[in-house]
Structure 1
Amino acid sequence: MDSFTELPLRPPLIDFHGVSMVRHFTDNWENIQNFQARPDDIFIASFPKSGSTWMSYILDLLYFGQTDPVRQTSIPIYERVAFLESSYRGFPPGTEQADKLTTTPRIIKTHLPVQFAPKSFWEKNCKVVYLSRNSKDNAVSYFHFARMNKTQPEPGDWNNFLQRFMNGKMVFGSWYDHVTGWWEKKQTQSNIHYMFYEDMIEDLGRELDRLCSFLGLSPSEEEKERVKVGTHFDNMKKNDMVNYTRIPVLDFKVSTFMRKGKVGDWKNHFTVAQNEQFDEDYKIKMKNTTLQFRTVV
């Protein structure tokens, strides 16, 4: 992964069709928009730091955990699951990586807001698993990720970062627009399964059953148990194939990529004043949606 050292570090945010982005995710735009999904593709969509690596590993184990055990110990998760919009110098772009996946189904992740999704998602009616996380924990997780990931813009201190989060000045734009955009799309698209990080923390077995029902899978109890154990936070954090320790632009001296995996850690970061301001702002931004989140479990 040495080519990562060639990356321009701490890139500036740019305005891209009204959404804050960095060029790592816009430089390959024509190929992203023209990407040809297949009917049997599985897409993981999420705002950053909502549990997409967790979901990547769950899906990989569900589909290939038994048929290809060598894959689990020799190929990092970011090579098994293509990151559609990634375009880092020195690496094949995500669209190319997706096209080269030999698995059936192909598992592909994206952080794109719904209006940026390639048309082929809807034309091919491939399955999309959207994973969401409550805004407060998401902001905290994103803050620590931005601190340790040198391909993110400079995060500044926690208070400044939180203001930026509320203003939608994050890579991939506004959390509020992202989660509600995909939620509204789900109302008219039966191929979207909308999931909540908090529900998965509360009862992973129940959420696995719902996910498998959506995907048309019927794993045995033994297989489901293997997935639950393998994707337990503590086991993933120790697993070099999924914990991202091999990527040099991530500074693990600042923070781990997988930090806590809990619901409610926001209480250790928000001051009373920040929480009051955030709640007022949240009410305004989320007043026109039926989407509801839990900040505790």
Structure 2
Amino acid sequence: MADYRFPGEWIKDDMVLQENITSEIISRLESFDMIQGDVLVATYPKTGTTWLQELVWLVCNNGDTNKSRSVNLNARIPYLECNIGGESGLEILQRKSPPHLMMTHLRSDTFRTQIEAGKVNIIIGIRNPKDTLVSFYHFYRMNRNLGNFKGSWDDFFELHKTKHILCGDYFQWYSSWLQYKDKPNVLLVKYEDMHSRMPDIIKDVSNFLGKDLPQNIIDDIVRHLSFDNMSTNNMVNRSIMTTFDNKISPFLRKGKIGDWNNYFSKEQSDIIDKSYKTIIEPLGVTLSFE
């Protein structure tokens, strides 16, 4: 099924997009004025976006877990380019007072002007490509907007090989963003590190954003961000979204490292390893696969 196409898809600069992301919105984002103190979370899909968004919001709001359980995450950190419920994340954002918290799945090209201006704080989330693709496969299956993909894992991997996948190729996406990882206004956060040392990651994000959280607040955030709490929190688990069929696969599915071992063949694993070693490692980034 390497020729699979989901309903309404279109392509911009080799990047496959949904119909609820328009060229007009992308054009507006290219000139959107980001100011000092704004925070942009940039992630490829299925790399722990929701987890990282919630972490960033809590750090910026003194660990207010009560509000985070009562206000939908998309209203707190809007998904800039996506039209959800009749308006784009950018429109939601523009009603808010600065500084702004926002997230994107677009490549860095759209935000080149803002990145070069050096005002916005950028937090790039990354996850190892093998677990990312397995999670993406199940997301394709449960998402009605993506046609509830009926193919097998092997079919989906063939789709990846053709680079015809939502938001484009994983390696091309990270090549665009990781070129900026050493800028002082950019922080790279690894999904696997969030698993193994969450308190340290919270402190890293806090320091990066100029926040000084006491230990008891950090402890509260760690508890709040556990997979069990996230998966049962209706403000983050996307259970209310009618386009997602959680009976096929929950939006927050497993949250584990190494699940790819249950899917990848030796040949598929070797293909990813080759791209990882030739594209990601030369950029100075090492990821954990287990």
**C-alpha displacement of 1:153:** 5.1
| Residues 120 and 272 of structure 1, relative CA distance in 2, 3 Å threshold | closer
Alignment of 1:90-169 (within 5 A): 90-102=85-97, 104-117=98-111, 119-123=113-117, 125-152=119-146, 155=149, 156-169=151-164
Q: Deviations over 1:48-82 (max 9, x none)?
A: 0111111111122222255x665323211111111
What is the TM-score when the length of structure 1 is the normalising length? 0.88
CA distance in 2, matches of 1:17, 1:241: 33
The answer to whether residue 79 in structure 2 is matched with residue 83 in structure 1 is yes
Tell whether the 8 Å contact from 1:65 to 1:72 is kept in structure 2 after alignment. no
Q: Secondary structure at the match of 2:180?
A: helix
CA distance in 2, matches of 1:285, 1:30: 28
Q: Secondary structure at the match of 2:283?
A: coil
| Residues 217 and 287 of structure 1, relative CA distance in 2, 3 Å threshold | closer
Q: Secondary structure at the match of 1:169?
A: coil
CA distance in 2, matches of 1:184, 1:118: 12
Match of 2:146, as an amino acid?
Q
CA distance in 2, matches of 1:158, 1:242: 26
Name which of 23, 36, 40 aligns with 1:39. Answer: 36
Where does the alignment leave 5 or more consecutive residues of structure 1 unmatched? 1-8
CA distance in 1, matches of 2:166, 2:132: 13
Q: Which residue of 1 aligns with 2:13?
A: 17
Match of 1:24, as an amino acid?
N
Tell whether the 8 Å contact from 1:43 to 1:127 is kept in structure 2 after alignment. yes
Name which of 201, 225, 231 aligns with 1:207. Answer: 201
Q: Secondary structure at the match of 1:186?
A: coil
**C-alpha displacement of 1:220:** 0.2
**C-alpha displacement of 1:285:** 4.7
Match of 1:61, as an amino acid?
L
Tell whether the 8 Å contact from 1:10 to 1:150 is kept in structure 2 after alignment. no
Alignment of 1:139-288 (within 5 A): 139-152=133-146, 155=149, 156-187=151-182, 189-286=183-280, 288=282
State, as a whole percentage, how many aligned pairs show the same letter: 26
Moved more, 152-161 or 207-216: 152-161
Q: Which residue of 1 aligns with 2:48?
A: 51
CA distance in 2, matches of 1:171, 1:41: 27
Tell whether the 8 Å contact from 1:47 to 1:178 is kept in structure 2 after alignment. yes
TM-align CA RMSD: 2.2
What is the TM-score when the length of structure 2 is the normalising length? 0.90
| Residues 121 and 91 of structure 1, relative CA distance in 2, 3 Å threshold | farther
Match of 2:56, as an amino acid?
L
Moved more, 273-282 or 157-166: 273-282
Moved more, 204-213 or 244-253: 204-213
**C-alpha displacement of 1:95:** 1.1
**C-alpha displacement of 1:287:** 6.7
Name which of 71, 80, 84 aligns with 2:67. Answer: 71
Moved more, 259-268 or 16-25: 16-25
| Residues 153 and 116 of structure 1, relative CA distance in 2, 3 Å threshold | farther
CA distance in 1, matches of 2:59, 2:276: 36
Number of residue pairs the alignment of both structures matches: 284
CA distance in 2, matches of 1:151, 1:121: 31
Q: Deviations over 1:101-152 (max 9, x none)?
A: 24x5321000111112262343251100000000000000111111111122
Q: Secondary structure at the match of 2:144?
A: coil
Q: Secondary structure at the match of 2:211?
A: coil
